[in-house]
Amino acid sequence: MTGLEQGAIYALVALGYTLVYGVLRLINFAHSEVFMIGTFTTMWVWGWMGIDQNTKIDSVGQMVMLIVIGLVAGAAASAVTAVTVEVVAYRPLRRRNAPPLAFLITAIGASLFLAEMIGIFTKRAPFGPPRIIEPAVAFAIGPFKVTNTQILVLLVALLMMAALDQFVNRSRMGKGIRAVAQDPDTAALMGINKNRIILLVFVLGGAMAGVAALLWNVRYGFTKFNVGFLIGLKAFSAAVLGGIGNLRGALLGGLLLGVVENYASGLFGGEWKDFTGFVLLVILLMFRPTGLLGESLGRARA
Amino acid sequence: MLLEIKDLTLEYGRIEALHGISLEVEQGEIVALIGANGAGKTTTMRAISGLRPVAKGSIVFDGQDITKLRADKRVILGVGQSPEGRGVFPGMSVMENLEIGAYTRRDKAGIAEDLERCFALFPRLLERRKQAGGTLSGGEQQMLAVGRALMTRPKLLLLDEPSMGLAPMLIQQIFEIITEINSQGTTVLVVEQNAQQALSRAHRAYVLETGSIVKSGTGQELLNDPSVKDAYLGVA
């Protein structure tokens, strides 16, 4: 269960990598910082509302309200960050037809810039967002205990992913995203404004990372300027694991990675957690270089 | 005049691909642009639809200078294109491919009407409407590309090598449909290597050779022109 919970957060962040990659063939390294800024924003917003670590949340109504506010604030802040990176860093490069390497180094630069900016601003201190939900076992199926936060995290994550999946597959804009991913030139001949689609992709990916950030705060109650680094790396691995450019692959990869990591840390001890995750990635890519479900936003059905 | 191209020059890097070509398309015509591989036919098409930046010269469409206009905005003005190699979205169903042709349109009734017209022209697409674009045969993909371009409700339909890779029977059929589309009121500019078919269907035609227009006239004139016969029709 802990694995699924963690995996769901990886999967939400992984969607951002996969969406941007599907449309731009670009690995947006700054996405991990998009997540990080989401964790800080939700915490700050709660702070402004006078909620800190010592506040006791006693009514369910207040709890739900805080979660919804945190979700909206986190998603909005992350989306704005993602869009800013696109407009300030990537778009000028595209206009000049820059080679892929220039994009890659820009992405890394944007990532470092954002992490350091928040680092300086927060004096590199670790922060503990308030505990909105006191973890408690909600019910147990045999030996598996399911906590209330686990239910919340999984529920919200799966809901967001189902909504995104429907949006991309059914809506007009979603079709636009798939068209640009599959053939950008022909998409332009259909009257699709590529830059607008790219912007939309950053908004969606950013918002998903923001939701992940809220769930992270609720579950772990910890953030720091470099919190995005490892999560970003794991989420990126999850995206590759499932097949980058493939939305459902991101979900599968995220959940699988989370479960395997937790299983391994139960088996060998916590310090082996990150190790097993990446070993899994390497082994899987040896046998299926395009990931579990293959690259799909571009080729087959998204 | 629906389309007026004046002195169009286009470069790939430092190499000039088109050396100042001029051509005109009148409302209601079928105009063919024929030429060998590498003559610059597709380049001309991509310049008209806005996928390639123009170095010199001007493109005026429906009285408006569109030389520097972005590709997606030209579609809204009424330039619809079926690109070279068809450009069918492989991961989308036939229906979705057609719907995306109507991406810029909001008139639901008009879209439904055009969809019907499309299926009337290409009954095959109706049978295959749920199938993914990538799994269609070459001929079906060509039909889909033309149908999808029609879904933009173009004033000018640009067709880039509609006969490419098709069996002779299908080529005949595609050109019959092009004539049909034209008789329903859509102006057509078609680029072709298959000069025989293109010239016999076109009202007027231009011959493109290594980036310059070397000849122009009515379809019939060019069909009977000895040098055109020699170079493009395979008869002495």
Q: Does B152 touch chain A (CB under 8 A)?
A: yes
A172 closest CB neighbour out of B71, B81, B103: B103
* d(CA A167, nearest CA chain B) in Å: 14
Say what the pLDDT of residue A301 is.
40
Q: B87 in contact with A at a CB cutoff of 8 Å?
A: yes
Q: What is the pLDDT of residues A139-181, one digit of tens each?
A: 888 777 888 889 999 999 999 999 999 999 999 999 999 999 9
How many contacts does A have with B, using Cβ atoms within 8 A? 79
CA B85 to chain centre: 12
| Alpha carbons A137 and A288: distance in angstroms, whole number | 38
pLDDT digits (tens, 9 = 90+) for B194-203: 899 999 999 9
Tally of residues, chain B: 236
Average pLDDT over residues A120-124: 92
A288 has pLDDT over 90 = no
In angstroms, the CA A200 to CA A83 distance is 9
Q: Which residues in A19-49 are b (16+ Cβ under 10 Å) and which e?
A: bbbbbbebbbbbbbbbbbbbbbbbbebbeee
d(CA A125, CA B200): 78
Query: How far is Cα B123 from Cα B129, in angstroms, rounded to an integer?
Result: 10
Between CA A118 and CA A34 the distance in angstroms is 11
Give ipTM to 2 decimals.
0.89
Cβ contact B207:B175 at 8 Å: no
Is the pLDDT at A78 greater than 60, yes or no? yes
- Weakest mean pLDDT among A42-51, A210-219, B122-131: A42-51
CA distance B201 to B211: 24
Residue B96 at interface with chain A, using a CB cutoff of 8 Å: yes
Note the pLDDT of residue B6.
95
- Measured in angstroms, the CA of A65 and the nearest CA of chain B are apart by 38
Cα–Cα distance for residue pair B120/A54, rounded to 1 Å: 70
B68: enclosing H helix or E strand:
none
> Is A273 in CB contact (< 8 Å) with chain B?
no
Q: Do A188 and B134 touch (CB under 8 A)?
A: no
Task: Give pLDDT, residue B30.
Answer: 96
Percent of chain B with pLDDT over 90: 81
How do residues A20-70 score in pLDDT, each as one tens digit?
Answer: 999 999 999 999 999 999 999 999 999 998 877 777 777 888 889 999 999
Mean pLDDT of A208-224: 93
- In Å, how far is A64's CA from the nearest CA of chain B? 39
Q: Which of B72, B92, B148 sits opposite A193 (nearest CB)?
A: B72
Is pLDDT larger for residue A6 or for residue A131?
A6
Q: Is A302 in the B-facing interface, judged by CB distances under 8 Å?
A: yes
Residue B47: name the closest of B24, B76, B68 by CA. Answer: B68
Instruction: Break chain A into its structural domains and give their ranges.
Output: 2-228
All structural domains of chain B: 3-84+152-233 (3.40.50.300)
pLDDT at A297: 54
Distance CA B39, CA A179 (A): 30
Mean pLDDT across chain B: 92
Q: Does B42 touch chain A (CB under 8 A)?
A: no
pLDDT score recorded for residue B236: 44
Interface test with A, best of B72, B73, B88 (most A CBs within 10 A): B72
Strand-pair category, B64-65 with B56-61: antiparallel
- In chain B, residues with a C-beta closer than 8 Å to the C-beta of A191 are 72-73, 75-76, 103-104, 152
Give the count of beta carbons closer than 10 Å to the beta carbon of residue A63. 16
- B160 pLDDT more than 90: yes
